[in-house]
Amino acid sequence: MKMDVNTAFFIDLFFHQVGLWWVVIPSIFLGLIVGAIPGFSAANTIIVLLPFTFLMNVEVGLVFMIALYCASRLGAGIPAILVNIPGTAGAAATPLDGYPMAKQGLGQRALSISFVSSIIGGLLTTAIALVTMPWLARVGFYMHSVEMVVVMLFGISLIASVAAKDTIKGLIAGFFGLMIGSIGADHVYATPRGTMGFLELYDGVPLIPALVGLFAISEAFMVIETGSFMAKDRVQTVQNANWSETIKGVRITLSRWWHVTWTSLIGLVIGVIPGAGAAIASFVAYQQSRTFSKTPEAYGTGHVEGLIAPEAANNGVTAGTLIPLMVLGIPGGATAAIMMVVMQYQGVPTGPRLFMERPDLGYGVFMAMFVTYLLMALTILPMSRYMSRVTLVSTTYMSPIIIAFTLVGSFVPREYLFDMYLAFGFGIIGYIARKTGYHVAAILIGVILGPLLEQYMLRALKMSDGDPLVLFSSPLGNTLWLVLILTLALPAFLKKHRQKAGSRS
């Protein structure tokens, strides 16, 4: 049965999805918990619940998975802000400015800014996806290995940004992360490198143990040493916080609506590229946000725009990830791949046939995402006041809890005891780095993006018989190279310009 896709169709679809609130709201709270627990993700939770989704009506099953996916993306920012634990790679850039705000006693405001940025970013990109799906789906055709090399370099150049205060130490930390990222079997001959005989490292360094070790466990060690998450004079600020802090966070975010808009669009475009993901989007958005900021030196100290950029971008990815699945039948990520399995089990086609035979389902997935973000504004935003009080819990209890949860979270993805030891090892590395003035974020960027850069680089060179000039053979790639050079040169130019303007005045 073919339906007319017009304004009336979308209005009816919206109210139909609102009518499924009884599925969406429980999924939101489940996703929030899943996202807030390090090591857990929407993908592995949906896999556990896959038998139940097979028993559901296909539409209800898809709505359940969509709501869980969106809420887990938003939930990952909660521990990243409050206790410096990015539970997923997509939230890895969030603690750079979110956690300093929490340490200043502004955790409630930071959560409010994070939630509003995420919700607006999700709503905006979902609305754009609904209208421009056929065109956005083509992005994947134009982004080949050459272009992806440059996109990776955008993210890796963030190492230079976080190293601004101490360039030598920042670059050493970044290269150390790239070296760790190179551990594992190489992408061409599958020769093991740096594995030290551990079979568990043949697939490379697992991301979650590195993530929680460098950030969470090292932070727990620091807290045990100092005895507090924040200065004593900031504790009173948290205790006296009321609803006005949440409202202030909303106002701050809305006043920077343009910043939310363009960083979420970065997430949407990167999300459309199969295999790219939220980690790349959040790092690139943060790097671009810092590059074009009038106060780049404020980033890393609790700057509002440094929190908005990664949160808007990683929620912009959610809509982008589903576009290749729905329009082309190519899953853009792990969650999309599981959704494809459910749709195939139920006999629902993906790709162009879906919009010809079941447009209500094809467009309904994105409308369900839109409704989910609307309902999250009503259900999760008011909770920021109570969530922020986590920072008041005594470190006597909090530090062991953090270490225990992160070690369990390290075990969950692969179910290897080795990963728990690895997380603890990264915790020691992160602690030493913090004590000696090296930036753990620079190490993490290298660990996450290094293997991806190598993968795309080798793929491009293999297709060109080893000719390095292939990196400059694409018009789109050359345009991206030009933009990269400009964004790297721009901070120095702007700094010089401001110094001249200051000397004149």
**In angstroms, rounded to a whole number, what is the distance separating the alpha carbons of residues 400 and 223?**
11
**In angstroms, rounded to a whole number, what is the distance separating the alpha carbons of residues 69 and 72?**
5
- pLDDT for the residue 1: 43
| 184-185 and 192-193 beta bridge pairing | antiparallel
Ranking 300-309, 393-402, 446-455 by mean pLDDT, the lowest is 393-402
What contacts 253, CB < 8 A, 6 or more positions away?
Answer: 112, 113, 116, 117, 120, 260, 304, 308
Which of 331, 314, 259 has the alpha carbon at shortest distance from 76? 314
Give the mean model confidence (pLDDT) for residues 140-153. 82
- pLDDT for the residue 432: 94
pLDDT at 253 over 90: yes
Highest mean pLDDT among 210-219, 266-275, 305-314: 305-314
Q: What is the pLDDT of residues 345-358, one digit of tens each?
A: 888 888 778 888 88
- pLDDT for the residue 263: 96
Of residues 232 and 242, more confidence is placed in 242
User: In the chain, what percentage of residues exceed pLDDT 70?
Assistant: 92
Q: For the whole model, what pTM was predicted?
A: 0.86
Q: Are 183 and 195 in contact (CB under 8 A)?
A: yes
**Residue 455 banded pLDDT, cuts 50, 70, 90:** confident
Q: What is the mean pLDDT of the chain?
A: 85
Highest mean pLDDT among 126-130, 326-330, 452-456: 126-130
- pLDDT for the residue 433: 92
Instruction: Classify residue 366: in a domain, yes or no.
Output: yes
Of residues 73 and 502, more confidence is placed in 73
**Residue 123 banded pLDDT, cuts 50, 70, 90:** very high
- pLDDT for the residue 240: 67
- pLDDT for the residue 505: 57
- pLDDT for the residue 232: 61
* Torsion angles phi and psi, residue 184, rounded to 5: 125, 180
- pLDDT for the residue 503: 66
Amino acid identity of 298?
A
pLDDT at 234 over 70: no
Instruction: Classify residue 91: in a domain, yes or no.
Output: yes
Of residues 120 and 468, more confidence is placed in 120
Q: How many domains does the chain have?
A: 1
**In angstroms, rounded to a whole number, what is the distance separating the alpha carbons of residues 167 and 338?**
43
- pLDDT for the residue 118: 95
pLDDT at 467 over 90: no
- Check residue 3 and report its DSSP letter: -
In Å, what is the CA distance from 242 to each residue of 99, 113, 386, 403? 20, 15, 10, 30
Q: Are 232 and 107 in contact (CB under 8 A)?
A: no
Torsion of CA 63, 94, 415, 223, to 10 degrees: -140
- pLDDT for the residue 155: 83
- Check residue 351 and report its DSSP letter: S
Give the mean model confidence (pLDDT) for residues 262-285. 88
pLDDT at 117 over 70: yes
What contacts 175, CB < 8 A, 6 or more positions away?
Answer: 446
Instruction: Classify residue 344: in a domain, yes or no.
Output: yes
Q: Nearest 5 degrees, angle CA 445-CA 417-CA 220?
A: 55
Q: What is the pLDDT of residues 165-184, one digit of tens each?
A: 677 888 888 889 989 988 98
Which of 13, 288, 263 has the alpha carbon at shortest distance from 124? 263
Give the mean model confidence (pLDDT) for residues 217-231. 77
Q: Are 288 and 484 in contact (CB under 8 A)?
A: no
Helices and strands counted in the chain (H then E): 27, 2
What contacts 183, CB < 8 A, 6 or more positions away?
Answer: 193, 194, 195, 201, 204, 205
**Residue 502 banded pLDDT, cuts 50, 70, 90:** low
Amino acid identity of 487?
T
- pLDDT for the residue 250: 94
Give the mean model confidence (pLDDT) for residues 256-273. 93
**In angstroms, rounded to a whole number, what is the distance separating the alpha carbons of residues 387 and 36?**
11
Instruction: Classify residue 1: in a domain, yes or no.
Output: no
Of residues 326 and 373, more confidence is placed in 373
User: In the chain, what percentage of residues exceed pLDDT 90?
Assistant: 30
Q: Are 146 and 478 in contact (CB under 8 A)?
A: no
pLDDT at 310 over 50: yes
What contacts 123, CB < 8 A, 6 or more positions away?
Answer: 370, 373, 374
- pLDDT for the residue 228: 64
In Å, what is the CA distance from 168 to each residue of 296, 433, 438, 439? 19, 14, 9, 11
Instruction: Classify residue 84: in a domain, yes or no.
Output: yes
pLDDT at 258 over 90: yes
Report the half-sphere exposure of 487 (CA within 13 A, side-chain side): 26
Q: What is the pLDDT of residues 31-88, one digit of tens each?
A: 998 888 776 778 878 888 888 888 888 899 999 999 999 999 998 898 889 888 887 7
**Residue 188 banded pLDDT, cuts 50, 70, 90:** confident
Give the mean model confidence (pLDDT) for residues 200-211. 89
Q: Count CB-CB contacts under 10 A for residue 188.
A: 12
| Domain span including residue 292 | 7-504
Residue that is written with structure tokens 């293999």 in the block: 462
- pLDDT for the residue 4: 61
Kindly state the helix (H) or strand (E) to which residue 346 belongs, with its residue range. none
Instruction: Classify residue 2: in a domain, yes or no.
Output: no
Give the mean model confidence (pLDDT) for residues 137-159. 81
Q: Are 255 and 304 in contact (CB under 8 A)?
A: no
